[in-house]
Chains A and B, each alone.
Chain A
Amino acid sequence: DQQVKQNSPSLSVQEGRISILNCDYTNSMFDYFLWYKKYPAEGPTFLISISSIKDKNEDGRFTVFLNKSAKHLSLHIVPSQPGDSAVYFCAASAYGNKLVFGAGTILRVKS
């Protein structure tokens, strides 16, 4: 049973536009959420995180939004750049426990 779901396997966006990656979760005990980014032939690297006490966290071009009532979070990238093309993993944890990852979304930013 997948507790963290990324229902869009891929997303294609034009350079300069907004990229929105979505993630849904089923475990209401999750209280910490992260996004990781992965380039080909490399391991995932941490991108941005958010605690359940917040509904938004921003870091430069990257913003994560959390909607606890809908058990949904999203990652916004504005403006999108070709270097943002990668696989994006959503992850969550509950009360200091291990991370649970989603299946990933492939983002392609076209120039």
Chain B
Amino acid sequence: DAGVIQSPRHEVTEMGQEVTLRCKPISGHDYLFWYRQTMMRGLELLIYFNNNVPIDDSGMPEDRFSAKMPNASFSTLKIQPSEPRDSAVYFCASSLALNTDTQYFGPGTRLTVL
């Protein structure tokens, strides 16, 4: 298996633009997670899905952020409109279970909002 795939790896955009980050989880994994890493807050969970259904979006910072999982092999995280404080590395991860050591992370998308 190729592991968790994220695209793009780097995104530079201007404030106010829409940004869409994409993730393909490992086949057969029932859980998909979106995390954000910043220097100040470390690794924060934004939202996670179970069998394509959003379960907990309490970490989504505000209404400008939205996430979807239309099928078992694809998820998106959208920011509209983007702001400079959204600049961070966004990780997607997938797993068979919710809290065990089998959470596999993608390489991340480094987002820079100018």
Which positions in A face B, CB cutoff 8 Å?
6, 32, 34, 41-46, 49, 89, 93, 96-104
A45 to chain B, nearest CB (A): 7
A49 to B93, CA, bound (A): 18
Interface bits B1-37 vs A (CB < 8 Å: 1, else 0): 0001000000000000000000000000000010100
Is B107 in contact with A43, judged by CB distance below 8 angstroms?
yes
Interface 9-mer from B39-47, B66-74, B80-88: B39-47
Is A34 in contact with B101, judged by CB distance below 8 angstroms?
yes
Which positions in B face A, CB cutoff 8 Å?
4, 33, 35, 40-45, 48, 56, 91, 93, 98-108
Q: Which residues of A contact B45 (CB under 8 A)?
A: 98-101
B4 to chain A, nearest CB (A): 7
With A44-B105, A103-B41, A104-B42 known to touch, is A32 a contact of B99 (CB < 8 Å)?
yes
Is A99 in contact with B103, judged by CB distance below 8 angstroms?
yes
Q: Which residue of A lies closest to B59 (CB)?
A: A98
Q: Which residues of A contact B43 (CB under 8 A)?
A: 44, 89, 101-104
User: Could you list 11 examples of A-B contacts with CB < 8 Å?
Assistant: A41-B108, A42-B107, A43-B104, A43-B108, A46-B102, A98-B99, A101-B42, A101-B45, A103-B40, A103-B42, A104-B42
8 smallest CB-CB distances across A and B, nearest first, come from A43-B105, A103-B42, A93-B99, A101-B43, A46-B101, A49-B101, A44-B105, A104-B42
A99 to B78, CA, bound (A): 23
A2 to B106, CA, bound (A): 24
Q: Which residues of B contact A49 (CB under 8 A)?
A: 100-101
A46 to B44, CA, bound (A): 16
Is A97 in contact with B99, judged by CB distance below 8 angstroms?
yes
A57 to chain B, nearest CB (A): 11
